[in-house]
C-alpha cells in the first residue's frame, strides 16, 4: 500500500519522465523525480516504451525497497 506522498512522487516522476516538463517545481523535487525515473528506466531494461502502469508498478517496487532498507 502506498502512502499519499509516495503516490504523488510517482505521479510527478512519471510526468517528468514522459513530458520532460517540471511544472515549475523546486530543483530538489525535480532531482528526486528524475532519480526515480532513471531507476525505473534502468529496472525496465530494454523495454521500448514505459507506459504509466509499468512505470507505477516499477517505481512502487523501488520506493518500497529503498524505504524498507
**Quick one: average pLDDT of 31-46?**
95
What does the pLDDT average to over 31-50? 93
pLDDT at position 14: 97
pLDDT at 8 over 70: yes
Q: Which residues of 33-67 are buried (b: 16+ CB within 10 A; e: fewer)?
A: beebbebbeeeeeeeeebeeeebbebbbebbeeee
> What is the rounded CA–CA span in Å between residue 5 and residue 2?
8
Residues 25 and 12: beta-carbon distance below 8 Å? yes
Per-residue pLDDT of 10-26, as tens digits, reads 999 999 999 999 989 99
pLDDT tens digits along 43-66: 999 888 899 999 999 999 999 988
Q: Report the C-alpha gap between 43 and 66 in whole angstroms.
A: 14
**What is the predicted pLDDT for the residue at 46?**
86
Amino acid at each position: 500500500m502506498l502512502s499519499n506522498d509516495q503516490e504523488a512522487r510517482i505521479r510527478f516522476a512519471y510526468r517528468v519522465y514522459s513530458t520532460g516538463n517540471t511544472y515549475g517545481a523546486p530543483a530538489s523535487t525535480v532531482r528526486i523525480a528524475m532519480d526515480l525515473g532513471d531507476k525505473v528506466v534502468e529496472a525496465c531494461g530494454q523495454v521500448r516504451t514505459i507506459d504509466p502502469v509499468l512505470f507505477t508498478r516499477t517505481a512502487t517496487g523501488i520506493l518500497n525497497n529503498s524505504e524498507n532498507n
